[in-house]
Amino acid sequence: MVSGEHVFAEYLSNPDDVKEEWWWKDKENDDSRETDQPPPLEGGGEMSERQQLPVSNILLQQQYPETVVLQGATGDNRVALTFDDGPDPRFTEQVLDVLNEYDVPATFFVMGARADAYPAIVTRIQEEGHIIGNHTYWHPNLVEEGEISTLEREVTQTEDKLADIIGYRTKLFRAPYGFLYNELVEKLAEMEYTVVGWSVDSLDWREGPPEEIAYNVLSNVQPGAIILMHDGAEWEGDRTNTIESLHQIIPALQAQGIEFVTVPNLLNIPYQK
């Protein structure tokens, strides 16, 4: 099988061609579609891209309160864990194991390309009671791309792929890096999506130690919080510390009587079209 590094080199030199034929097959001997590495984040790793913030999500939520959500009601002692950039065979199933250990549901915003590569992991996410949202197909920086057509193509392609796997069309969308601007939000509203942001950033994309990730969450969380974490990474990225931090975050909040719920339950919104 062709290595992930080889495919990545091909991607850099001619991304459009590789997008069309991402998974390589040995037509005589191998029916597998998977490389040894997950498809890359087209817009770049979280570490580099998240240093900028084109438009405040708080302002977008104020302008489009029926479309953009950042947190739930502060009167209920409930929070929602969310995970981006999977499914990633290196980390997602370990995250699922921890969630299962503590009987905690979560919401996963998945990339279409990775869902296509690892449908069994997507199926496991669904079967274990978690909710699945749309995180674009190739994870581009939508603001940098600057084209409504890019958003529409990325979202629709992912929606179609997810519908094939989970049997419904999700209404939940999260932008790569959280980057959007007004016209993109308006297009997403037209496409019947709820745009899900967050109120607590674990900053796990910085790959700090588990204690630091846990502190970032526990020192900022409040009832109604939507917590951003990542179960997927670029090829050189590592989410091991994210997984370890969950063993600190979940029991600490449960000891305070805080209940973990999915985003649709937290916000009392539908999750499918």
Supply the residues annotated as catalytic. 84, 230
What is d(CA 204, CA 229) in angstroms, rounded to the nearest whole number? 6
Is residue 104 within 8 A of residue 260, CB to CB? The reply is: yes
Q: DSSP letters along 148-198, please? A: HHHHHHHHHHHHHHHHHHHSS-B-EE--GGG---HHHHHHHHHTT-EEE--
How does 37-60 read in b/e, with b if 16+ C-beta sit within 10 Å?
bbbbbbbbbbeebbeeeebebeeb
Helices assigned H by DSSP within the chain: 4-13, 15-20, 46-49, 57-63, 92-102, 112-117, 119-127, 142-145, 148-166, 182-190, 210-218, 240-255, 263-267
What is d(CA 232, CA 242) in angstroms, rounded to the nearest whole number? 10
For 241: left if phi > 0, alpha if psi spans -120 to 50, otherwise beta; the answer is alpha
- ω into residue 87 within 30 of 0, thus cis? yes
